[in-house]
Amino acid sequence: MGNKTIDKAKKYIMSTYASFPLVFDRGEGCYLYDDGGKKYLDFVSGIAVNALGYGHQRLIEAISDQTKKLTHVSNLYYNEPAVELAEKLSKHSGLDKVFFCNSGAEAVEAALKLSRVYCKKNKSKDAYKIISMKNSFHGRTFGAISATGQLKYQKDLDPMMPQVDFAEFNDLEDLKSKITPETAAIIVEPIQGEGGINTADIKYLKDVRALCDENKIVLIFDEVQSGIGRTGKFFAYQQYGVVPDIVTCAKGLGGGIPMGAIIAKDQIADAFTPGSHASTFGGNALSASAALVVVDELMEKGLIDNVVEQGNYLKEKLEEVKNKYPEIEEVKGTGLMMGVSLKGVTPIDVVKKAMEKGLLLVGAGSDVIRFVPPLIVGKEEIDEFIEIFISALEDLR
């Protein structure tokens, strides 16, 4: 059956992914099962999406119940799940107002637009430039990819959207050199995900916040991957004590149902007025109902504590592996957004070998494998992961 499905996919689906020859049929907890019944421990979780794993009963019931009542109405009207979710996102972010969309790229687009609109109204008609970081990743739509600091993602798309400058990550002096009176926004990932699990220095982010305040620049934190509990706080910036003007989120927010959002300070958010921006499906009742379960499990049911506990355990076990295996150069990240940089072996070889052994992994950057399991992961699954990971490294020697 799998071969037939894959053959059909190659015939009818555009080849934008170098997909592995696997067809998954179902999932349970932190495990996936292919259509042949083989079991895989999932440390990819839809690339940091399936926060509650697979078959989570509350999530299933919320989606089922909401589907029976209402899935979508236009944003010309209100729906209760979206309003409740906006309140919770405001509370847990320390920011004020929410705009809902469907994905991380759309959230970045909304953040870039909002920052420009705000600065045109409140700073200068000439304030429109964006500063992003080298090695960043912000999504695949045209504005988001233009603000992405990796040329490999921009191949054959040039010319990019103009007025985007790139600064070295964690280099304040380089950032200062890029700021002009025309600068509207600085966009930063507190932890660069696709770039290789690169963590911002605390002092750097605090200095960037001060620079933005001094120069009337909107500070955007892109937390599409690092947000919604992934690092052990609701947002990674809460680890730093630095609050942005706008934060983007998506991925884990819907627990596998498409859902994205930006959350902004009141004075910034007020720049959007009716007609400024829109999203047909943004904040639909189905997606919002799913997200409400994710947020509630994290912040009211104690799942965020599990992220801290298991994240510490995962880091401890990875450090033990590093001390025994010279193939691992560095353990990176925090919470359940971890990675290792490799030497003498390529990430793709490790990913393929682990897959043979029933473990799903994903690369990041040129030499990093990242580990982003469901947030429900426990010590038993982490021990199993370590065992298979070591076995894969051994086989590649």
Sign of the dihedral through C-alpha 15, 16, 21, 26: negative
Q: Which residues pair with 369 in a beta bridge?
A: 340, 363
Task: List the catalytic residues.
Answer: 137, 222, 251
| b/e code 89-115 from CB counts within 10 Å (16+ = b) | bbebbebbbbbbbbbbbbbbbbbbbbb
DSSP string over 197-229: SEEPPHHHHHHHHHHHHHHT-EEEEE-TTTTTT
Phi-psi region of 114 (alpha: psi -120 to 50; beta: other; left: phi over 0): alpha
**CA–centroid distance for 110 within its chain:** 16
Residue 134 is given by DSSP the state B
In angstroms, the CA 138 to CA 248 distance is: 10
Burial of 299 (0-12, 13-18, 19+ CB in 10 A): middle
Cα separation, 306 vs 159, whole angstroms: 45
User: Rounded CA gap, 245 and 192, in Å?
Assistant: 19
Q: What's the chain's length in residues?
A: 397
State the Cα–Cα distance between residues 43 and 345, nearest whole angstrom.
20
